[in-house]
Structure 1
Amino acid sequence: MTSGPGNLMYFSSGGALLLVCAVKVPALIQRPHDALLRAACRLLFAGGCIMFLAAPGTIVALNRLTGITNFSAPVVYATLTAYSGSSLLLIIHWRPGPAEQTRRLARRCTAFYGLAIVAVFLLFAAGSTPVEQITLFDVYYADTPFIREMIVTYLVAHGVAATANILLCLRWSRQIGGWLRAGLRLLVSAYLMHLSYDVTRLAAVGARWSGHDLDFLVDEVSPRFAALSAFLGAVGFALPLAGPRVAETVRAVRRLRQLAPLCGLLQHVPAPGAVRTLLSWWRTPPTVLLTSRKTALYDALLALTPYCDPAVRDAAHAAALRSGDDAARAAAVADAAMIVTAVQRQRAAPGRVPDRARPSPWRSPALAPISRALASPVVRGIRRHDRAPAESSTP
């Protein structure tokens, strides 16, 4: 055992990949014949397994459990090779292309990496590794017949997949945009970390062949490339799936904050016939909460229609334009002023029934500008002095 990274780094990186895999499992159960989804789940599961199997504690436990010295080496290398093939398969299925070409490339990829996995175990069985090595297996047995070939086999297979995926993801990312583009760019970074892992290990093995010592590349540097690639890969695959939902949630939260002043003003306005359901913000998705709030606001505005005075709106509109507001802002200020006055009149003389055939008195087409306009000096003056900015008529 050396001073390389401990179990925590491996387990946390593997856990991130398995967590993303678990998120995709329900969709896989619903669509078991989806080749792309199967490839994604297979890749994420293999990546998580690699990080758990490569942890020093797992290596020791596996060797003790089987009673075969260094048996964990071919297991980790075969799993890494399977991960390499799965990553290439995923991009092949994910990237748009003719169906027959996709199937042909997938068959070739499966055959190549299947043979590489078989070769890893056969070469390990043909070689001899009597001394247990937890973190320095590659360099310790770099000159051992058959084991040397096993090490080169898994590193080359892994490097080929990483290079191919970098080229495919880069080429594809130039053709699309949005969250998918961002995910592909993160995957390029992840595969660059894969390639850096292979290069550092091959450099250390090559140094042993030439009589030099670069063992620290295997023990300390390459595991950190592997952990970083696992994190970037997990985020890269999750981003196209979770990104739109997160963006939608953020937009809903922003709208809820914008509507908060208007909600506070209208929350006690009686709306006969409207069904209001109290939803807890900590239990309700923001998008659902936003829909409920907007429905309640429209119901309250409908109930205030008999109390709305166009003269108040016109006077507030003129005042807003004089204060330097543009046309859209002035329209929102005018509606906000009319609503504030309507609330005051409704409190003073409740009981009027809205005429549903009456045209809408509002100028601003959206609620958020009206809510923001409640902070304008014109509307604050009405709320502070409890009167309209000019002489109003009674509807």
Structure 2
Amino acid sequence: MSIRITGLRGENRIGDGHNHKGRKVTSAPSSIGFYLYGALLLLVCALKIPALVRRPRDTLLRAACLLLLSAGLLMILAAPHSIAGLNRHSGIANVSAPVVYVMTTIFSGASLLLIINWRPAPAEQTRRLTRLCLVLYGAASLAIVLLFWAGDAPVEQRTLFDVHYAGTPCIREMIVLYLGAQGAAMTAASVMCWRWSAKVRGSLRAGLTILAVAYLLIVCFVVMRLCAVAARWTGHDLDFLVDEVSVLLSAPAAVLGALGFALPLAGPRLAETVRAIRQLRQLGPLWRALKDVPTPGAVRVPLSWWRNPPAVLLTGRKTALYDAILALTPHCDPEVRDAAHAAALRAGCGDADAARAAEAAMILVARERQRASPLRPPDATGREVRHAQAQDLITLSRAVTSPLVHHIRDPYMPLQKAANHE
């Protein structure tokens, strides 16, 4: 996430609508987006508090809560109305600058802290880096406040504070400190994400790659502002990098940052849902063939798709299919399977395909024989129960739709059914 801090447009102190360099100043962006996004982050942080109370020593959870809290507060404090309100109600010109810079520094440290505790590493190394991060970014936050009070920034600057006071003693050091701290944290976090992503796969790798790109965008944001500040030191004007160019990176970095953290959490669940939906579709032919098979003793509870996730529907569908196959077991005839297997081999099928086609033909014939004679055959005790339960339902479902299976099964259909076919 990259927050546009003093790059907010709309200096109301310029009466003719231009800044001190003659560039046209546009109206300030709305604060609503800042407040909504900030409130959402704080809400997510609040939802994690019960878990934090239960696991107070969970360093990863603490780092996540710190990141959410600092990001939410930063969005609220960086809103244009908040900046104007802080300056006006405090009676101190530009007091919003150190407030937002401190929150930016805390957010940067929290981002690095989360990556340190998230990635797999020796426990002692993680503790050492965690302590170092807390000390460095805590000290940087304190130094920002002290440098602001030691310096002099009497003229309110809501958009170009960094470059306007680039040469002011103490204020200059404060600006370089907050930008340097942010840039260092984002560079380190990006490098750590790149290295970690090379060792993992799936949604975690995708999330880490996206995070690395998001952090690089923030590094570019910092570099542009540092270039504009350095240009002021040498008597040049690159102010457009602050209020026109760098701010364009804020939204993409924020979106990519949120996506990068969300993808590893939502990715496995999304992949499971997609896999369940695909298997439900693949089981469709077998389900349509066996859904009306009576299953005495089995309890069938209808599952509505709008109330149950696909994984639950898939489990229910598989259970119902196994029950149907088990109910057909007394009517399964090994002779039908053997004859169908031989016919499939003669038709040019491989051994595995022929075996699956033979199983499908036997089950379809058993279904018709059960319909024709619902009573249990006298010689069917224990017939094929284990074999029927071990079926690969998806490949069996695929075989059910094969024209070859329908051709093979026809000679073994009950007489009444065969007559109907004719």
Aligned to 1:191: 215
Aligned to 1:259: 283
1:215 to 1:295, Cα distance in 2 relative to 1, 3 A = same
Superposed CA deviations along residues 42-96 of structure 1, whole A, max 9, x for unmatched, are 1233233323332323323433443433222212111110011112222222333
Corresponding residue pairs, total: 389
Aligned to 2:344: 320
1:270 to 1:172, Cα distance in 2 relative to 1, 3 A = same
Matched, 1:389 2:410: yes
Tell which deviates more after alignment, 161-170 or 361-370. 361-370
* Corresponding letter in the other structure for 2:199: Q
1:180 touches 1:240 (CA, 8 Å); kept in 2? yes
Matches within 5 A, 1:60-209: 60-209=84-233
Aligned to 1:276: 300
Tell which deviates more after alignment, 23-32 or 289-298. 23-32
Query: Could you list the runs of 5+ residues in structure 2 that have no partner in the other structure?
Result: 1-9, 11-24, 416-422
1:312 touches 1:389 (CA, 8 Å); kept in 2? no
Aligned to 2:399: 373
1:275 to 1:8, Cα distance in 2 relative to 1, 3 A = same
Aligned with residue 289 of structure 1, among 295, 306, 313: 313
What is the CA-CA distance between 1:297 and the residue it aligns to? 0.7
1:222 to 1:22, Cα distance in 2 relative to 1, 3 A = farther
Query: Could you list the runs of 5+ residues in structure 1 that have no partner in the other structure?
Result: 383-387
1:135 touches 1:219 (CA, 8 Å); kept in 2? yes
* Moved >4 Å (runs of 4+): 4-27, 353-356, 361-364, 391-394
Question: Quick one: distance in 1 between partners of 2:335 and 2:54?
Answer: 59
Superposed CA RMSD: 2.9
1:391 to 1:94, Cα distance in 2 relative to 1, 3 A = closer
Question: Quick one: distance in 2 between partners of 1:176 and 1:159?
Answer: 26
Tell which deviates more after alignment, 10-19 or 362-371. 10-19
What is the CA-CA distance between 1:25 and the residue it aligns to? 5.2
Q: Secondary structure at the match of 2:219?
A: helix
1:13 touches 1:227 (CA, 8 Å); kept in 2? no
1:40 touches 1:90 (CA, 8 Å); kept in 2? yes
Q: Secondary structure at the match of 2:283?
A: helix
Aligned to 1:342: 366
Question: Quick one: distance in 1 between partners of 2:74 and 2:344?
Answer: 65
1:170 touches 1:188 (CA, 8 Å); kept in 2? yes
Aligned to 1:358: 383
Tell which deviates more after alignment, 342-351 or 271-280. 342-351
Aligned to 1:385: none
Superposed CA deviations along residues 152-186 of structure 1, whole A, max 9, x for unmatched, are 11000111111222232333333333433333222
